[in-house]
Chains A and B, each alone.
Chain A
Amino acid sequence: MGRIPAGYLANRITTLVLTVVIAATLIWIIPRLSGLDPASAALGRMASGGGSVENADQILAQLRESFGLDQPLSMQYLLYVWNTLTFDFGLSTASFPTPVAAMIGNALPWTIGLMLISLVITFLIGNLLGALMVWEHTPRIWKVAIPAAMVFTSVPPILSGLLLMYIFSTQLRWFPLSGPYGLNVEPSWTFDFAASVLYHGFLPALSIVVVTFGFWALGMRGLMIGVQGEDYTTLAKAKGLRPRYILYRYMIRNAILPQITAFALKIGMLVAGQVLVERIFAYPGMGKLLYDAILTQDYPVIQGVSFVIILMTAVSVFLVDLVYPLVDPRIRHGA
């Protein structure tokens, strides 16, 4: 990392910290502005569960204290920021008294797993197809098929998810309708379990891949058009190198670099889309957690999930910004 100048690093770190703090602040301010009282909401839930509540005033006062609502606003805010940065989001109000952090801890691996797999597959397929759109030796059928498949690019993954689910789960019954793994396997490090997870994760991942590969393909196409006209490509051709060799070693290798930046920015949008895919496939990740929390009006969980997803996005953008110059020596920091 010795090659990264301090000014650039400071700049990136400032952006990262600002992003996280602004996101945390927005998440804190918005419910406060609505005049919603979490203590009376909790009391209301108690009342709806057990009929009437005795000593309501005392319970309300106690709840206010345990939520920290008796403190001045500035103290509440500082306390909140500190807690959030240490991943202490308080207790879930719907499944009281489970800590929100524990619920997120259970959901996070599913989300990250599904996201990484679909992101990597899309990146590979999308860039390869984008390159093939420009390459002069691509079979003609591909030149027609790829742009036709690209019309799905703009469709949000929830729509593709619904269609795939209908065709492959309810009609053909090739894939399970929902859930992360089969009912007959126990979560453990066995082959059966892994196979079941992959089998169940296939449709959710596919519904994301189908609608996102076009984004990469389009970008790659533009970059390849640039590379195609370069002198070194002409020279490689003149030398009589095999076309396939030129495609992989000369063209794609040079064209793919700017796509890596897009990779980072895309993560944020992908996670947001995946939230909805998880919801329809009942996949036990952050999206399902968020949806269930919305249904039960569980604000600590909603805030915690939103914050963690934004944090993930910000950190990945930060990391890619740092790694990118190492991949592409032509880029100079701070330029």
Chain B
Amino acid sequence: MEDRNAAAPETAAPDMTGLSRAQLRRMKRFENPWLNPKLLWGLGLLLGIVALGILGRIFWDTEMVFTGSGLPRQAPVGIENLRGQVGSWAHPLGTDVTGKDILALLIVGAPNSLYVGVLASLIGMSIGIFLGFSAGFIGGRTDDVIRVGSDVMITIPPLLILVVFQAAYGDISLTIMAILIACFVWQSPTRLIRAQVLSMRESGYVQMARLSGASTWHIMFREMLPNLVPYLFGSFIANVTTSIVTAVGLEVLGLGPQRIPTLGRVIYDAINSGALIQNLWWWWGIPTLLLAVMFIGLLLVNLGLDEVSNPRLRRL
């Protein structure tokens, strides 16, 4: 986000005496659009969470996600809880009312949330790429069916259908949850790709490929797909966010996987045990902050990708 300062000189009256430092820096940035500060910061935050999951498993005992791993209601290091006990290094982020170690919960839970988001989004993207290309390229009846289908499905909030599903089936695994969420995140990539394919279909290089006898498959995936990569990335990240929001929503309602620690589940337990009133802020607050960091990271990556694919936005 450092480039915010660069916006200020631009708004001032144009200076004819020479290029300011900010302007020079901006020009340099055009050399490699992928070195976008928002993109890099966002990736950094996400990699930090992945690193927490990997390093945590090596250096911390993840068995402490189970009940009774320590004294209940311990505060983080150096902070006193309501009973006057000072938190120790045995549980650096404190424990919940049943003595589960919060740090261990984060180490196990955070990668689970990312896993659900990425898997659901990957499946949704694959469906979206397939349907979007089919609709835009084949057209006719196929297009009508796919277009109406995605129009219909984009209106239905995934959370509510999934609540009905979970209420009927009870416990499910992370992978099943990801697959279920994927059923609701294919619509926007489908629409996006369809619109792009429709406009690309008439362009010169596609006409050329068609004239030289390339197969439909070749035109779709070798000629057109590479041009869509920046859009696909943006759509992918937006879908990861939607998927994680949906997964966390289910978990906070007490649905979702029951036996695997997830961040949403920790928050659900905390709210249900009155952690807000008992002032056990570390119990719900730390998972909340970690989720916020995850979402901010995803947003920054998305904004960065927008600027990479659309140079007009780079001015700010």
The answer to whether A and B assemble together is yes
B163 and A302 contacting across the interface, CB-CB below 8 Å? yes
CB within 8 Å for A14 and B148 given contacts A143-B8, A154-B241: yes
B252 touching A276, Cβ below 8 Å: yes
Most buried by A among B156, B249, B292, B316: B156
B299 contacts A151, C-beta separation under 8 Å: yes
Q: Are B163 and A306 in contact (CB under 8 A)?
A: yes
* B161 with A23: CB separation less than 8 A: yes
Closest to A310 in B: B156
Interface string of A278-309 (1 = CB under 8 A from B): 01100000000011011101010011011001
Tell whether A84 is near chain B: CB-to-CB under 8 Å.
no
CA–CA, A313 and B284, complex, Å: 31
Total interface residues on B, CB under 8 Å, equals 54
A30 B164 Cβ-Cβ under 8 A:
yes
Does residue A1 face the partner (Cβ distance < 8 Å to B)? Answer: no
- A255 in the interface, Cβ–Cβ < 8 Å? no
Task: Tell me whether A159 and B255 are in contact (CB under 8 A).
Answer: no
Overall SS of chain A's interface: helix
Question: In angstroms, how far is the closest chain A Cβ from the Cβ of B123?
Answer: 18
Q: A203 CA to B285 CA in the complex, in Å?
A: 18
Asked whether any CB of chain A lies closer than 8 Å to the CB of B211, the reply is: no
B157 touches A313 (CB 8 A): yes
Return chain B residues, CB-CB under 8 Å to A177.
276-277
The answer, among A138, A299, A317, for a CB contact under 8 Å with B167, is A299
Show 17 A/B contacts (Cβ-Cβ < 8 Å), sorted by A. A18-B152, A23-B156, A144-B5, A155-B292, A158-B252, A158-B267, A162-B271, A162-B284, A222-B313, A275-B159, A291-B253, A291-B254, A294-B253, A299-B168, A306-B160, A310-B155, A310-B157
Interface flag for B236 (CB, 8 Å): no
Which residues of B does A touch, CB under 8 Å?
1, 4-5, 7-8, 11, 148, 151-161, 163-165, 167-169, 241, 245-246, 248-249, 252-255, 267, 271, 276-277, 279, 281, 284-285, 288, 291-292, 295-296, 298-300, 303, 312-313, 315-316
Within 8 A of B (CB), among A8-23: 14-15, 18-19, 22-23
Taking CB atoms, residues of chain A closer than 8 Å to B316 are 133-134, 147, 221
Which of B161, B163, B271, B296 is in CB contact (< 8 Å) with A155? Answer: B296
Contacts A148-B4, A163-B288 supplied; 8 other A-B pairs, CB < 8 Å: A19-B155, A30-B164, A30-B165, A155-B291, A156-B249, A159-B288, A225-B315, A302-B167
Interface stretch (choices A48-56, A58-66, A230-238, A263-271): A263-271
Contact of A19 among B152, B161, B241, B312 (CB under 8 A): B152
Minimum CB–CB distance from A24 to chain B (whole Å) comes to 11
Within A133-173, the residues touching B (CB, 8 Å) are 133-134, 136, 138, 140, 143-144, 147-148, 150-151, 153-156, 158-159, 162-163, 165-166, 169-170
Q: Please state if A170 and B160 are interface contacts (CB–CB under 8 Å).
A: no
Question: Known contacts A225-B315, A317-B155: does B148 contact A15 (CB below 8 Å)?
Answer: yes
Contact A306 B299, beta carbon cutoff 8 Å: no
Contact A272 B167 (CB under 8 A): no
Task: Give the chain B neighbours of A78 by CB distance below 8 A.
Answer: none
Whether B164 lies near A31 (C-beta < 8 A) is yes
Q: Are B249 and A34 touching (Cβ within 8 A)?
A: no
The complex places the Cα of A265 from the Cα of B252 at a distance, in Å, of 24
Closest chain B CB from A160 CB (angstroms): 9
Can you name the residue of chain A whose Cβ is closest to the Cβ of B169? A34
- Asked whether A158 lies within 8 Å of B248 as measured between CB atoms, the reply is yes
Q: Does A327 contact B (CB under 8 A)?
A: no
Give A113 to B145 CA distance when docked, in angstroms.
Answer: 36
**B295 x A306 contact (CB < 8 A):** no
Q: Let me know if A27 is at the binding interface, CB within 8 A.
A: yes
Q: Are A165 and B292 in contact, with the CB atoms below 8 A?
A: no
Contact between A156 and B164, CB atoms less than 8 A apart:
no
Kindly state the separation between the CA atoms of A162 and B287 in the bound complex, as whole angstroms. Answer: 11
- With A162-B284, A306-B161, A306-B163 as contacts: A225 and B312 at CB distance below 8 Å: yes
Question: Does the CB pair A22–B152 fall under 8 Å?
Answer: yes
Cβ 8 A contact of B155, one of A155, A225, A314: A314
Q: Are B156 and A15 neighbours in the complex by a CB distance under 8 Å?
A: no
Query: Given contacts A31-B164, A302-B164, is CB(A269)–CB(B157) below 8 Å?
Result: yes
Q: Does A36 contact B (CB under 8 A)?
A: yes
A75 at the interface (CB under 8 A from B): no
Instruction: Output the nearest chain A residue to B166 by Cβ-Cβ distance.
Output: A294
CB distance from A198 to the nearest CB of B (A): 23
B279 & A170 in contact (Cβ 8 Å cutoff) = yes
Determine if A46 is an interface residue (Cβ-Cβ < 8 Å): no
Check A159/B291 contact, CB under 8 A, given A299-B167, A310-B157.
yes
CB A32 to nearest CB in B, in angstroms, measures 9
Q: Given A225-B313, A272-B157, A276-B252, do A18 and B164 touch, yes or no (CB 8 Å)?
A: no
Contacts of A23 in B (CB 8 A): 156, 161
CA distance A272 to B241 in the complex (A): 15
B259 to chain A, nearest CB (A): 18
Q: Which of chain B's residues have a CB closer than 8 A to the CB of A309?
A: 157, 160
Q: How far is the CA of A334 from the CA of B216 in the complex (A)?
A: 28
A303 CB contacts on chain B under 8 angstroms: 164
Residues in A neighbouring B299, C-beta threshold 8 A? 150-151, 153-154
